[in-house]
Structure 1
Amino acid sequence: MTTITEKLTFENYLAYNDGTDTQYELVDGELVPMSLGTGKHGNIIRFLVRQFEDTIAQSGQSWVALPSLVGIRSPRGRRWDTSRIPDVTVLPLVQWEAMENREAVIDFNEPPPLLVVEVVSPSTQADDYRSKRSEYGLLEIPEYWIVDAIAEKLTIGLLDHEFYDLTEFQGKALVQSSVFPTLKLTAAQILAGNL
């Protein structure tokens, strides 16, 4: 016997409530529950948000760094809708404030975030390196970080014509970010989730 799962539109997804606290991404019209990561996964996210917020404050930029609080509607090139929720999203403060009375999702007609970060889990590895990389490139997000504690590397993608040029950082290599050029962190510090 085959079970058929009903596909959701983007509007259905925004209105969806199953009565639990489960957070979902929408992938080709299907709800994909986001499982809790390990403590290390959470430490990396928390560490990056703090470092980004400190760097933003020092630079005087009117930006904000948010942990898993913003969805990004994604073009997958298929019939059904997709909406991703990055582990960290950096965007202008005015854009975040504009979401105060609506769902916190960046739609196609809105400017993309400045930077997104995905922290790799065994269950998200293929999506983080392939699907999301392609989707975020098409959305013209200027910078995409893939933090992979499993492979002990940080990959930073800089956008060039809807495609990311990737640079890998490991160990004591100082990361180089175009969005945060004054950030002074090594790959090892980020992968450890602390200084």
Structure 2
Amino acid sequence: MITTLTKSIRFAEYLLLPYDGQRTELVDGKIIKMTEASPLHIDIIDFLIDLIKAHITEQSLDLVVRTGVGVEIPRAVGPNNARDPDIVICPSQQWKAMRDFTKAIFLMDNPPTLAVQVVSPGNQTVDTVDKRQEYALARVPEYWIVNPIDGYVLVLVLDGDDYREVGEYREQELLESKLLSGLTVTVDRILDP
């Protein structure tokens, strides 16, 4: 369940709010408190972080993996949104340049290289439709939708203004990532770590 706070604020005001230990997103000018993740959700995130970090080390890639980091979503009408993917990957220098920010948020025109969203029960449309559109607006080059509810991982890459599907992977299929080429993991291993 998601709790919405009623006061409407602008993105700049959201950035200046002190960190209170709560995981939040800014959607249509409203601060949304995210609920606690399920144990499976946490297990999937932890497994992916460990897997990706090992791959980055093995391939000597200059990338970092982080959680709890927001992404500014530009909007034509109304205040910009701020979404909080479960995992982000970006170059080390990009992360270091953000260290003095008030909040850990990739600002407009400076998106992470990859965002991963693990679908939550009761939040499927937001995780699979809304965030897909929003991360495309934010120009995130690669986006994974990890869906343990329906049993798949969808890998998307930005192609113009929209995402193009690299593949929807299930069961024993090996996931294919453009950013993390050579990463070998089956979907069933991700969905049941």
Q: TM-score normalized by structure 1?
A: 0.90
Per-residue CA shift, 1:92-129, capped at 9, x if unaligned? 1111111212121111142x211100000023211111
Using the TM superposition, name which of 176-185 and 101-110 deviates more: 101-110
Does structure 1 conserve the Cα–Cα contact (< 8 Å) formed by 2:71 and 2:138? no
Question: Which secondary structure does the structure 2 equivalent of 1:130 belong to?
Answer: helix
Q: Displacement of 1:168 after TM fit?
A: 0.9
Does structure 2 conserve the Cα–Cα contact (< 8 Å) formed by 1:159 and 1:165? yes
For 2:105 and 2:12, how far apart are their aligned partners in 1?
11
Question: Which secondary structure does the structure 1 equivalent of 2:57 belong to?
Answer: helix
After superposing on structure 2, the runs of 4+ consecutive aligned residues of structure 1 that deviate more than 3 Å are: none
**Aligned position for 1:63:** 63
1:77–1:127: structure 2 CA closer, same or farther, 3 Å change rule?
Answer: farther
- Sequence identity percentage: 33
Question: Which secondary structure does the structure 1 equivalent of 2:184 belong to?
Answer: coil
Give, as a single letter, the amino acid of the residue that structure 2 aligns with 1:74. I
Per-residue CA shift, 1:23-52, capped at 9, x if unaligned? 110001100111111010001011111111
**Aligned position for 1:84:** 83
Question: Which secondary structure does the structure 2 equivalent of 1:177 belong to?
Answer: coil
For 1:128 and 1:77, how far apart are their aligned partners in 2?
21
For 1:148 and 1:13, how far apart are their aligned partners in 2?
29
Does structure 1 conserve the Cα–Cα contact (< 8 Å) formed by 2:66 and 2:89? yes
Q: Displacement of 1:78 after TM fit?
A: 2.5
Give, as a single letter, the amino acid of the residue that structure 2 aligns with 1:6. K
Q: TM-score normalized by structure 2?
A: 0.91
For 1:105 and 1:40, how far apart are their aligned partners in 2?
26
Per-residue CA shift, 1:63-97, capped at 9, x if unaligned? 001122x1110023321221011100000111111
**Aligned position for 1:52:** 52
Question: Which secondary structure does the structure 1 equivalent of 2:128 belong to?
Answer: helix
For 2:184 and 2:6, how far apart are their aligned partners in 1?
47
Using the TM superposition, name which of 149-158 and 72-81 deviates more: 72-81
Unaligned runs of 5+ in 2: none
Q: Displacement of 1:20 after TM fit?
A: 4.6
Unaligned runs of 5+ in 1: none
**Aligned position for 1:157:** 156
Q: Displacement of 1:137 after TM fit?
A: 1.1
Question: Which secondary structure does the structure 1 equivalent of 2:6 belong to?
Answer: coil
Q: Displacement of 1:188 after TM fit?
A: 0.4
**Aligned position for 2:141:** 142
Paired residue total: 187
Using the TM superposition, name which of 133-142 and 89-98 deviates more: 133-142
Does structure 2 conserve the Cα–Cα contact (< 8 Å) formed by 1:65 and 1:90? yes
